[in-house]
Structure 1
Amino acid sequence: MSLDQNLISRMTEWRQHLHRFPECGFDLPLTADFIADRLTEFGIEVTRNIGQQGIVGVLKCGDGATSIGLRADMDALFIHEENQFEHRSRHDGQMHACGHDGHSAMLLGAACYLAEHRDFNGTVHFIFQPDEEHGRGAQAMIDDGLFERFQIDEVYGLHNMPGLAEGSFTVRPGSLMASESSFEIVIDGVGGHAAMPHRGVDPIVVGSQVILGLQTIVSRNLSAIEETAVVSATEFVTNGTVNVIPSQVVIKGDCRCFTEETLKRIEQSMERIVAGICQAAGASYSFELINTFYPTVNSPEQTQFAIQAARTVLGTEHVETDCLPLTISEDFSSMLRVKPGCYALMGNGVESVGGCALHNPEYDFNDRILGHGAQYWIQLVKDRLK
C-alpha cells in the first residue's frame, strides 16, 4: 500500500500549519478547531470537548462489532523556538518541540484515507488528546467518560523518535517507558544561633542523612534485575542564613520506575527512611509523592498486532521488536491502564531536521515520515478490523 502524493502533500501542509500556531496544555482552541474541521470535512462524526479540549472522531464501516482507538497528542511546549524556517512558531514562547504537530497530521492523514476508502469492517476512533506534556490530558479524557461514551476495545499510540532512522519502528511488550513521580519532604527542626547548635535540632544535618538514605532505595531495597528505578533528590532549600541554623528544610526530587508495584515500594521505602531518621533526631516531617505519569506498559497481544502492521508497511528488517525500556515518560500510560493496547516509536531521522533531540528549541518534526505514520495507522486498522 502506498499513499497518494496529494495526501502526503496535504499532511505536510497540516503539520506545518499546526507548527506555526502551537498551543499548550488544555488551552488549544485553534488546534482543536483545525483538527475538528478536517475530520468533519472527511465525513467523520466528531465529538469535541472531552477532557476540556479533547476530540474523538468516529468512523464506522460495515457490520463489524470490533472497535479500535488511535490516539495522537495535540499540545506544544512552553519553549521559545530558535528555528528560522518559514513555518516556525508564530506564538512567542510556545513551540511544537516534541512533534505532536506531526502526530496529529499523521492521524489526520489516516482518517482522510480511511474515510475515503472504507476498506475495513468495524469502528475506528480517532482520539486527539490535549495536555500530554504535563501528564494530565489522557486522564482528563478518561475521567470525562472516554471509554464509557465510546466503545473502544483496544487503543494504540505512536511517537516520533529522533536518533532513530527514518523508516524504522521500535517497540517492546511490557514496560516501554517509565513512570515519573515527584516528591517533597519537609523537615522541621529547631533553629537557632549557628554558634550554639546544641540548643536546637539542625534540619540540615537531618536532611543530609535523609538524602543519603534515599540512595539506598535503589541499591538495597529493589531488585537489581527486576526493579530498575532512579531516585534523585534535586532541590535542598532552607530558611536559614549564614549564621543561623534553619528551622526547616525542604527536599524535592524525582523518581522513575517501570511498574506500579515498584513505584509503591519506592513510596513506602521513602516514608520509612524519612520517618526513622527524623524520629532519631527529634525532628518532625511531612512527605508527599505525586505521580504525574504511570509506567507505559504495552499489552503483549496488541504489541504483536502493532509489530505486524509495522512490518507490512516498513519491512521486517526495519522493525525492532524488543527495544530497551526508556526512562522518559508518556501519559498514554493512563489509557493503557484501562484498555489493552500498544505504544510504539517511529524513527524521525538521525541527521539534519530529524536528528535534533525532543524538547530542544531547534527541533522540527521530519515531514518525510508523515507517510510512514499514516500508513502504519491504516494498516493497523485493516489488520484489526478485517
Structure 2
Amino acid sequence: MEALQKSLEKVRKELHQYPEISGEEYETQKKIKAFLTKNASCTIVEVAETGLVAVFEGKEKGKTIMLRTDIDALPIQEVNTFQHQSQNKGISHKCGHDGHTTILLGVANMLTNHPVEKGKVLLLFQPSEENGKGAEMVLNDPFFKNINIDFVFALHNLPGFTKNEIVVKSETFTSNVKSVAIQFNGKTAHAAEPEKGQNPANAIATILTFAEKESKNVPKSSDFILITPVYVTMGEKAYGISAGYGEVHFTLRSWDTKLIEEKKEKLEQLLNQLELEHSLKIKISWFEEFYSNINNKEAVSIIKKSAEKQKLSINEIKTPFKWGEDFGLFTQKYKGAMFGLGAGKDTPALHNPDYDFPDDITMTGVQLFYSIAKEVLDS
C-alpha cells in the first residue's frame, strides 16, 4: 500500500501542475488513459468528449456499480509556490479534483490486483463538473444509454472536517443551484445630462436590493434560499459619460427546486417592471444548473458499513452543504449517494487560491471506494 500511495501522490501532483478547465480536459484525459493502460486491467471507453469510463467485469453476472470522479479545474490563479504549482496561468485545481481523480486511479489499481468475482464496476472520470454540464453530457453519451446501473457513488474532499473522517447524510446532501446573467441595455448620455439617456444604475440597485431581501441564508431552515451577487459591472471609466449598459450575475440556491422557481419568476416579473420604468432593454440568461444530491438511504447505509469495516470515523451531519455538485443529476436517476472525505480542519477552503488537496487522505478514499464496491457486488 505504501508503494501505491507514493505512486498516486506523484500522479496527483502532475495533474495539479497541468490543470484544465471544464470542457478542455484533453491532456488530463490522456494522462488518465495512460495510467489505466499501464496499471489496470480494464476496458477503457471515451465518453462525453473529454471523459473516460474504466470498466471492470467479474467472471459472474451481478450488479453494476458506478464510482464517479470529476477531472476539471477552475479559472483561479494559484498563489502557492511549491514545486507542483500550476503551470497553466489563471487555472488551478482549487476544488481538489486532482485528488478525486487520483483516488479513482487508485481504485482501478486495487480492482486490478484484487478483482471482483461477480458484477461490474464502472469508474467514471467525468469532465465539466464545475460548469454543471458534465453529468448531463455523460448521461446523454451512447455508452450510458445501453447500460443498467444499480448504484452510483461519489465523494468530495471537505476542508474544515477532520482528516480521513467520512461525512454522510441521507436525503439532501447538497443544494440545488441555478445561475443567471442579466444585461441592462440603455443609452449613454453626457454625465452632466443623464436625463437624455437611459442609465441602468437605479435598476441594478433595485435588483441588488431584491436579492438581499428575498434571501434567507438559514441553512437549517427548510425554506433556505440564497441569492448571491457574483458579478456586477456598469458603464466605463470615462467621467463625462452617463452609463448606458450594465450587467449583474447571481446564483440562486435552495434545498427546494420549487422555491428556486418561485424566486426566478418573481425576479423576472421585477425585471419586466424595471424595463418599462427605466426604458431599458433587459436580457436574462439562465445557465449552470446543478440538481441537489439526493442520497438514497440504502446507499448511505452501504457507505457507513464500509467505513466501519475500514475503522473510519463517521460524521453524520444534519444540514446539507450549500454548494452545488452536478453528481446530483446521477442521484436523480439512480440509487446512490455522495459522501464527504475530511481534508483537515486547517486546510484552506475549497476555491481558495492557496488550497491544495492533502495527499495523506488519498488512500482512505481509495480503500473506502473499493470497500463500497465489494459491499454492493457481494451482497
TM-score (norm 2): 0.86
SS of structure 2 residue aligned to 1:72: strand
Aligned to 1:128, the other structure's residue is in SS state strand
The range that moved more, 368-377 or 23-32, is: 23-32
Question: Does 2:227 correspond to 1:231?
Answer: yes
SS in 2 for 1:307: helix
The structure 1 residue matched to 2:160, chosen from 145, 154, 163, is 163
Within a 5 Å distance, the mapping from 1:207-218 to structure 2 comes to 207-218=204-215
Shift of 1:146: 4.7
CA positional deviation for 1:80: 3.8
Q: 1:111 aligns with which of 97, 108, 111?
A: 108
State the alpha-carbon separation in 2 of the partners of residues 108 and 256 from structure 1. 32
Alignment of 1:350 onto 2:342 = no
Match of 2:375 among 354, 370, 383: 383
Match in the other structure for 1:175: 172
1:60 is matched with which residue: 57, 70, 74? 57
Unmatched runs of 5 consecutive residues or more in structure 1: none
Question: Separation in 1 of the partners of 2:243 and 2:18?
Answer: 47
What amino acid maps onto 1:225 in structure 2? S
Q: Tell which deviates more after alignment, 103-112 or 114-123.
A: 114-123
Secondary structure, aligned partner of 2:265: helix
Q: Secondary structure at the match of 1:349?
A: coil
Contact 2:183/2:284, CA 8 A, preserved across alignment? yes
| Equivalent residues of 1:125, 1:152 under 8 A apart | no
Helix, strand or coil for the counterpart of 2:61? Answer: coil
Q: Is residue 181–residue 254 contact of structure 1 (8 Å, CA) maintained in 2?
A: yes
**Which string of whole-angstrom CA distances, capped at 9 and with x for unpartnered residues, describes residues 351-385 of structure 1?**
4xxx1222333322211111110111111011100
Using a 3 Å threshold, how does the CA distance of structure 1 residues 300 and 22 change in structure 2: closer, same or farther? same
Task: Compute the displacement of 1:12 (Å).
Answer: 2.2
Cα distance in structure 1, aligned partners of 2:188 and 2:288: 32
CA contact (8 A) 2:220 2:319 kept: no
1:197–1:245 contact (8 Å) kept in structure 2: yes
Contact 2:234 2:243 in 1 (8 A): no
- CA deviations on 1:32-60 (whole Å, 9 max, x unpaired) are 22222332342111112x11111001111
Alignment of 1:54-203 (within 5 A): 54-187=51-184, 203=200
- Measured at CA, do residues 141 and 197 of structure 1 come closer, stay the same or move farther in structure 2, by a change above 3 Å? same
Partner of 2:256: 259
**Is 1:360 aligned with 2:355?**
no
Report how far residue 114 of structure 1 moved: 1.8
Distance 1:200 1:160 in 2: 51
**CA–CA distance in 2 between the matches of 1:312 and 1:38?**
29
Matched length: 375
Contact 1:170 1:323 in 2 (8 A): no
8 Å contact kept, 1:307–1:321 = no
Distance 1:241 1:9 in 2: 56
Contact 1:120–1:382 under 8 Å retained in 2 = no
Q: How has the CA–CA distance of structure 1 residues 185 and 314 changed in structure 2, closer, same or farther, with 3 Å as cutoff? A: same
**Cα contact 2:294–2:328 (8 A) shared by 1:** yes
User: Aligned match of 2:44 in 43, 46, 58?
Assistant: 46
Secondary structure of the structure 2 residue equivalent to 1:19: helix
Q: 1:193 to 1:322 in 2, by over 3 A?
A: same
Root-mean-square deviation over aligned CA pairs: 2.9
Seen in structure 2, the aligned counterparts of structure 1 residues 190 and 116 have a Cα distance that, compared at 3 Å, is: closer
Instruction: Name structure 2 gaps, 5 residues minimum.
Output: none
Determine helix, strand or coil for the equivalent of 1:58.
Answer: strand
Q: Distance in 2 between matches of 1:252 and 1:361?
A: 22
Correspondence for 2:322: 327
Shifted more, 232-241 versus 371-380: the winner is 232-241
SS at match of 1:209: helix
Q: Report the identity percentage.
A: 26
Q: CA shift at 1:61, angstroms? A: 0.8
Query: Which SS does the other structure have where 1:331 is aligned?
Result: coil
| 2:219–2:320 contact (8 Å) kept in structure 1 | no
Following the alignment from structure 1 to structure 2, what is the Cα–Cα distance between the partners of residues 262 and 145?
A: 34
Change in CA separation of 1:332 and 1:238 when aligned onto 2, cut-off 3 Å: same
Q: Measured at CA, do residues 58 and 200 of structure 1 come closer, stay the same or move farther in structure 2, by a change above 3 Å? A: closer
Partner Cα distance (2:198, 2:294) in 1: 45
Q: Quick one: distance in 2 between partners of 1:282 and 1:80?
A: 40
Cα deviation code 1:231-251 (max 9, x no counterpart): 134415247975665555433
Q: Distance in 2 between matches of 1:156 and 1:79?
A: 28
The two structures have a TM-score, normalised by structure 1, of 0.85
